[in-house]
């Protein structure tokens, strides 16, 4: 009885109080990130005559290129961020250092100098890389193995992400319209400072979660240098990595464009990641762990496809909104960043409903595995681009397109995201080997970043192929890809060895209590 009372004091609305600390921290961090993201591309293409003040005056192509690299790096750096937490600091301290770095980065962006623009982006890349994978891993650490509340806990956490996005895209757009670009960047910095203060003040609710790894816990651990040392002793795996490195260097010299060096560096990095993954696979002791590791890596392909389409919101869709959409509403021109807030607003409205739909489906014994939900989410999100095709047709017919197409597109994107993204976060915490938990979360965000780079490449090609071809192509590819994943669902589920079935081990009474409380 005493243990039950003590546990209840650490819970709020049926979930650990630590969830709400992480919820608020992530909310303000996402406010800062999405607030800056909402104005980044249109700031880069703004000229001296822009009503919000002079931007960088870049071409659309240059803006798409930087946007693609930035979004990719923000998440790819999650890999070293995860390693830092797993091997040295623990998730809790790594999140703290990441939050501090983000405050400095957003504050630097508020300075009206070119050097501050690039320095600020660099600091944000480092900060997100430390914070993003580790705070998500901490959410999973709040729940015991087999706790059916885990998926719903991630959905609640996801509301925090998107509440921050909603506030940012609403307020930052208004601030920029009134006081200019750098006031918007500065507002993002203030938000991140609030997130840092919330996190520091809520430490008492995070005891036992994300702590620094102890010598005992690291007794059978393998460091990253050791993994690469073992790679040197494995001729087959070493040969694979050497071939990939050679191709990467070749790509760096032969790719066209000013950023050819970036592609070369990216492929070299990915080649080393492939080598690391092969060695981690060899280190796993059981067939169950090995199979789960494989299906986890395969799920990252779904993540790349999903975010490669979804991230058009900050690139091609943002420019389309700014230049080709009739934004007049009752005599007032709606700022472009506010349209990105539609996604966050819909998430705030529908997150619990979508999570409850899948939870009820699962309780009834119907198909509701994480991979199935990710595939369905990809299909629904892809169908959202049907409305962007309609927007292009509208523009071609009348010289501007209606806002309703954007509203419908963002609605479909949101329902697809709610079915896929929070579930994929939870999926990683269920299947990842414990000693590589943060690293695998880092890989998930790196896959998200690669999706962002794909989005940037698609934006770059819009000038050559046109928006109609890009939007229609995204629709067709994502729907076919999602259907392919569903067709392969049974063998993929077998590789999980019932990891998600463990949630059904709770008694019926426990499950009913959890569903009632939520």
296 lies in a domain?
yes
381 lies in a domain?
yes
Write down the pLDDT at residue 223.
64
Write down the pLDDT at residue 345.
83
Do 419 and 354 form a contact (C-beta atoms < 8 A)? yes
Question: How far is 130 from 74, CA to CA, in rounded Å?
Answer: 10
Point out which residues pair with 401 in neighbouring strands. Answer: 325
- Specify burial of residue 47 (Cβ count, 10 A radius: 0-12, 13-18, 19+): exposed
Q: Work out the number of other CB atoms within 10 angstroms of the CB of residue 377.
A: 27
Residues 172-189 have a mean pLDDT of 84
Write down the pLDDT at residue 509.
38
Match 């789960």 to its residue by tokens: 292
3 lies in a domain?
no
Write down the pLDDT at residue 257.
67
Q: pLDDT digits over 307-358, tens only? A: 989 888 777 888 888 888 898 888 888 888 788 788 878 887 887 788 888 8
Residues 55-75 have a mean pLDDT of 83
Please report which confidence band the pLDDT of residue 139 belongs to, taking 50, 70 and 90 as the band edges: confident
Please report which confidence band the pLDDT of residue 466 belongs to, taking 50, 70 and 90 as the band edges: confident
Question: How far is 446 from 481, CA to CA, in rounded Å?
Answer: 20
Please report which confidence band the pLDDT of residue 5 belongs to, taking 50, 70 and 90 as the band edges: very low
Q: What is the mean pLDDT of the chain?
A: 82
19 lies in a domain?
no
Write down the pLDDT at residue 436.
77
CATH number, domain of 447, equals 1.20.1250.20
Please report which confidence band the pLDDT of residue 12 belongs to, taking 50, 70 and 90 as the band edges: low
Do 315 and 455 form a contact (C-beta atoms < 8 A)? yes
| CA distances in angstroms from 363 to 356, 366, 480, 510, listed in the order given | 10, 8, 29, 12
324 lies in a domain?
yes
Residues 299-307 have a mean pLDDT of 91
Write down the pLDDT at residue 164.
85
Q: pLDDT digits over 210-232, tens only? A: 787 766 655 555 666 777 777 77
The alpha carbon of residue 165 and the mean position of all alpha carbons in its chain are separated, in whole angstroms, by 13
- 399: alpha, beta or left, given left = phi > 0 and alpha = psi -120 to 50? left
Q: What is the residue range of 405's domain?
A: 24-209+221-517
444 phi and psi angles, rounded to 5 deg:
-60, -45
Write down the pLDDT at residue 219.
53
Question: How far is 319 from 324, CA to CA, in rounded Å?
Answer: 8
Q: pLDDT digits over 285-295, tens only? A: 889 889 988 88
How many structural domains compose the chain? 1
Write down the pLDDT at residue 4.
36
> Which token pair is 56?
């960088």
Q: With 0.85 as the threshold, say if the pTM is over it.
A: no
2 lies in a domain?
no
Write down the pLDDT at residue 502.
56
Write down the pLDDT at residue 435.
73
18 lies in a domain?
no
473 lies in a domain?
yes
């Amino acid at each position: 009885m005493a243990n039950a009372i003590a546990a209840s004091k650490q819970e709020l609305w049926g979930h650990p109080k630590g969830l709400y600390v992480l919820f608020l921290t992530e909310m303000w961090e996402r406010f800062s990130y999405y607030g800056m993201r909402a104005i980044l591309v249109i700031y880069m293409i703004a000229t001296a005559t822009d009503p919000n003040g002079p931007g960088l005056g870049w071409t659309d192509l240059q803006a798409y290129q930087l946007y693609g690299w930035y979004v990719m790096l923000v998440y790819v750096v999650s890999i070293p961020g995860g390693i830092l937490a797993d091997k040295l600091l623990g998730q809790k301290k790594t999140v703290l250092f990441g939050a501090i770095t983000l405050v400095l980065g957003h504050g630097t962006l508020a300075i009206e100098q070119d050097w501050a623009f690039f320095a600020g982006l660099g600091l944000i890349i480092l900060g997100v890389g430390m914070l993003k994978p580790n705070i998500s891993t901490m959410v999973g650490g709040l729940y015991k193995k087999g706790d059916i509340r885990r998926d719903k806990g991630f959905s609640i956490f996801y509301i925090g992400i998107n509440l921050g996005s909603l506030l940012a895209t609403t307020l930052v757009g208004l601030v920029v319209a009134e006081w200019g670009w750098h006031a918007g960047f500065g507002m993002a910095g203030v938000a991140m400072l609030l997130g840092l203060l919330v996190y520091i003040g809520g430490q008492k609710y995070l005891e036992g979660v994300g702590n620094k790894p102890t010598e005992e816990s690291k007794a059978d651990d393998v460091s990253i240098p050791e993994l690469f040392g073992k790679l040197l002793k494995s001729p087959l795996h070493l040969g694979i990595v050497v071939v990939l490195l050679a191709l990467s260097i070749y790509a760096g010299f032969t790719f066209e464009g000013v950023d050819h060096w970036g592609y070369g560096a990216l492929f070299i990095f990915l080649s080393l990641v492939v080598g690391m993954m092969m060695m981690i696979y060899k280190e796993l002791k059981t067939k169950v762990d090995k199979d789960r590791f494989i299906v986890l890596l395969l799920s990252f392909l779904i993540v790349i496809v999903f975010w490669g389409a979804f991230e058009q919101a900050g690139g091609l869709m943002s420019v389309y909104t700014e230049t080709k959409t009739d934004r007049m509403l009752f005599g007032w021109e709606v700022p472009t960043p506010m349209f990105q807030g539609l996604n966050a607003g819909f998430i705030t409205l529908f997150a619990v409903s979508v999570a409850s739909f899948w939870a009820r489906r699962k309780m009834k014994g119907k198909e509701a595995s994480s991979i199935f939900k990710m595939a369905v989410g990809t299909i629904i999100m892809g169908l959202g681009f049907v409305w962007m095709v309609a927007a292009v047709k509208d523009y071609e017919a009348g010289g501007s397109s209606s806002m309703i197409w954007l509203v419908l597109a963002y609605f479909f994107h949101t329902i697809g995201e709610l079915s896929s993204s929070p579930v994929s976060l939870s999926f990683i915490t269920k299947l990842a080997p414990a000693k590589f938990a943060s690293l695998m979360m880092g890989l998930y965000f790196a896959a998200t970043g690669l999706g962002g780079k794909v989005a940037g490449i698609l934006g770059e090609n819009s000038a050559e192929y046109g928006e109609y071809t890009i939007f229609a192509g995204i629709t067709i590819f994502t729907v076919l890809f999602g259907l392919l994943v569903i067709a392969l669902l049974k063998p993929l589920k077998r590789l999980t060895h019932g990891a998600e079935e463990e949630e059904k081990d709770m008694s019926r009474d426990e499950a009913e209590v959890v569903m009632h409380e939520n």
